[in-house]
Amino acid sequence: MDSVVYDTAAAYDADARDDRRGTGSASAARPRALATEAVHAGREDLAALGLHAAPIDLSTTYPSYDSRGEAARIDAFAAEGAEPEGPPVYGRLGNPTVARFETALARLEGTESAVAFASGMATLSAVLLVRNAMGLRHVVAVRPLYGCSDHLLTAGLLGSEVTWVDPAGIADALRPDTGLVMVESPANPTLAELDLRAVAHACGSVPLLADNTFATPVLQRPVEQGARLVLHSATKYLGGHGDVMAGVVACDEEFARGLRQVRFATGGVLHPLAGYLLLRGLSTLPVRVRAASSNAAELARRLADDPRVARVHYPRIGGAMIAFEVHGDPHDVIAGVRLITPAVSLGSVDSLIQHPASISHRIVPTADRHDAGVSDRLLRLSVGLEDVDDLWSDLDGALGFTSGG
């Protein structure tokens, strides 16, 4: 059987790679661990407010008896995109509950700022619009990417033009109007990994956008390797429970100002309840990622030893995602699971399985999909927190339905 080599030791001793990533605080003698930041970032003022849980501010508008001062603050936002000082103005400019999530995510990713949107695709659209507004419409990208990200770039729906390259071809593909280099590592759905530091070096002064949805800041922080922008479909691991849709970019404050202006102008705002759920999701993110990664590493080992499986893709960095190719009909596996849910998306506490060529990457042209390693027999498994033996029993039974079983 042809199986990708994967490092099970890396999947997963998260304690060794997690624990000294915090930004610290005034009262701390050393930086705080990621697990501590996940619980406390964005919530430091709660005790002084007499609160334990973060409040949900559902207001769309806010009273102001100083209309001159209000106008000046709105003018400053329009000119620079800086967050207005003082009380909130209007829900499209920003929301206090969403701001807590943004603060926390920026701390976990090690960036100055973060800007949240109504979905991951709204987030990517905003990044492209910021660069387009500067006349920088050309994007260099490496496949595979999430299928809808691929489509947005290829179709030029926002006026962008994309050049698809291998990582080694990034530097040669840059042009004077290149505004962005985009990569995803581990990639959706093949889990291919890139040397982000080498990619960032090849970008020169062009911003590198790294989609970190699969890894989360628990496994890697792309800014430490040279990325300027870190994209998350927050619908996935950051929320973690399959009940919130959102996107977020962690970045420097300069880029964040442009993103806020686009969010205000286009209206792709995140609902406050979603911001609350995301902030709550971050508090358990390290625990969830570790537990799901442990399950995934064990399932990857068992799949690699199964004669019904042709190939297993599991990243060296670890994580809770597995991709595997079967000898038989992958649709039979989808139809055969009972505990695992056959559904789109990923990163929930429960396990999900889907067939990328039919669902998440169907929109990508067949030849491009195959060239990126997304075969018609590939299945993508998002491993959850169930007992690993129960998950294996379900997979084992579903594999028995394949014509190659």
**C-alpha distances out from residue 370 to 155, 367, 375, Å:** 19, 5, 6
Residue 236 annotated among the catalytic residues of the structure: yes
Q: How far apart are CA 319 and CA 269, in angstroms?
A: 29
**C-alpha distances out from residue 65 to 62, 68, 87, 303, Å:** 10, 9, 12, 65
Which one from 100, 137, 143, 146 is the annotated catalytic residue?
146
Which one from 236, 257, 308, 380 is the annotated catalytic residue?
236
At which residue do the structure tokens 């701001």 appear?
99
Residue 211 annotated among the catalytic residues of the structure: yes
Which one from 18, 211, 306, 394 is the annotated catalytic residue?
211
3-state secondary structure of 164: strand
Q: Is the peptide bond before 189 cis (omega within 30 degrees of 0)?
A: yes
Q: How far apart are CA 110 and CA 222, in angstroms?
A: 9
Strand ranges across the sheet with 178-184: 113-117, 247-251, 229-232, 208-211, 178-184, 138-141, 161-164
Which one from 17, 90, 92, 329 is the annotated catalytic residue?
92
Q: How far apart are CA 359 and CA 236, in angstroms?
A: 16
Say which amino acid occupies 327. Answer: H
* DSSP per-residue letters across 233-247: -TTTTTT-SS----E
- Would you give the DSSP letter of residue 115? E
Q: Which residues are catalytic?
A: 92, 146, 211, 236
